[in-house]
Amino acid sequence: MLFSLALGVFLIWIIYKDLTEEDKAHIIESFSEANYWWIGASSVVAIFSHIFRAYRWKYPLESLNIKIDLPNRFAAVMIGYLANLAFPRLGEVSRCAVLARYQKKPFEVLFGTVLAERLVDMLLLIAFIFLAIILQFNILRDFLDESFGSILNNSSSLWILGVTGLFGCAVVYVLWTYIQRSEIPVFARVRKILRGLFEGFATLKTMDGQLGFYFHTALIWVCYILMFMLTFQAFPETSSVPFGGMLAAFVLGGISIVAVQGGLGAYPLAIMIILVLYGVPETRGYAFGWIVWSAQTAMIILVGFLSILVMPLLNPSTQNEEASA
């Protein structure tokens, strides 16, 4: 957590230290000139994407005979997003832990279904990355070469990456073999957790509502793209960026959120890097990235905290049981 937070602060400092007084004035001016109706519309679409995510969750859960109503699932999803702002990748754990507590369901199985969902989402993100590169290859080629060319053209770097990967796989295999055979209590607990995770993963293949699952997956990602496209209407300079450029900014921004805690510092920088390629001034692109990031973060904080407050009201029987215990 501390490293990720420090990296975000460092990225902010990297940009800030080189800003002139004129640059700072342009950034402040951009905040005042933005059309926030488009930003607000984007936030509404973002909420719908989270509703669709909560609805999609029912398919793997019901395949395991776990029935949890939509309000509880939605509240858990939003609490998970809120947790991600505090601790990187804690959202998936928090999302399952809160339902395990209030709904009395096995955490390991819940977590397995979430990991299965994340696997599908990760594959789609990778697909969008390749689509963005294909659509805007001529524009992105120089950027990709500058960012990764030294690694790809350096045979020693490739050898190091390959050997490190093989060594990591070997360590995982040996450790997994030992855990399967060991009678040590802690490893027995690990085996139980892993069985639950695998059971959750298996729902991708065994669930009855596969059509509904993938339909809602499509709705989630349509909302993601749409909410991002709406934000580009906030400034005249960004509204002229082609769809391929928006898609490139979308995927790089998404990667930055995964790499740095909540995208702090990294998201505005990632957006600026792409927008500069399409003729948007750096100060405008940087301000635009901060506006988009701030709006989405504020929405998650607001709805996330409301979800924490509502969760006990949705599950009064659990509260009564804990009070009488």
Q: What angle, 0 to 180 degrees and rounded to 10, lies between the N-to-C axes of helices 107-135 and 91-103? A: 150
The answer to whether position 55 is within a domain reads: yes
- Residue 157: band (very low, low, confident or very high) from pLDDT cuts 50, 70, 90: low
Q: Is residue 127 part of a domain?
A: yes
Please report the sign of the dihedral spanned by the C-alpha atoms of residue 132, residue 133, residue 137, residue 139. positive
In sequence order, the 6+-apart residues with CB closer than 8 A to the CB of 129 are: 251, 255
Give residue 239's domain range: 2-8+23-315
Task: Judge whether 320 lies within some domain.
Answer: no
- Nearest to 237, CA basis, from 291, 269, 268, 276: 276
Residue 255 included in any domain: yes
Model confidence over 59-102: pLDDT tens digits?
Answer: 988 888 889 999 999 999 999 999 888 776 678 888 999 998 88
Confidence of residue 165 (pLDDT cuts 50, 70, 90): low
Average pLDDT estimate for 251-260: 84
Unique residue bearing structure tokens 């602060």: 9
Are 203 and 64 a contacting pair, CB within 8 Å? Answer: yes
CA of 168: how far to CAs of 161, 172, 226, in Å? Answer: 11, 6, 39
Residue 104: partners with Cβ closer than 8 Å, 6 or more residues away: 318
Half-sphere exposure of 179 (CA within 13 A, CB side): 16
Within a domain: 176: yes
In a domain, 325, yes or no: no
Q: Is residue 16 part of a domain?
A: no
Torsion of Cα atoms, 155 then 158 then 160 then 166, to 10°: -140
> What is the number of structural domains in the chain?
1
Q: Give 197-255 pLDDT, tens digit per residue.
A: 666 666 667 777 788 999 999 999 999 999 999 999 999 999 999 998 899 899 988 88
Which amino acid is residue 161, in one-letter code? L
- Is there a domain that residue 14 lies in? no
Residues in the chain: 325
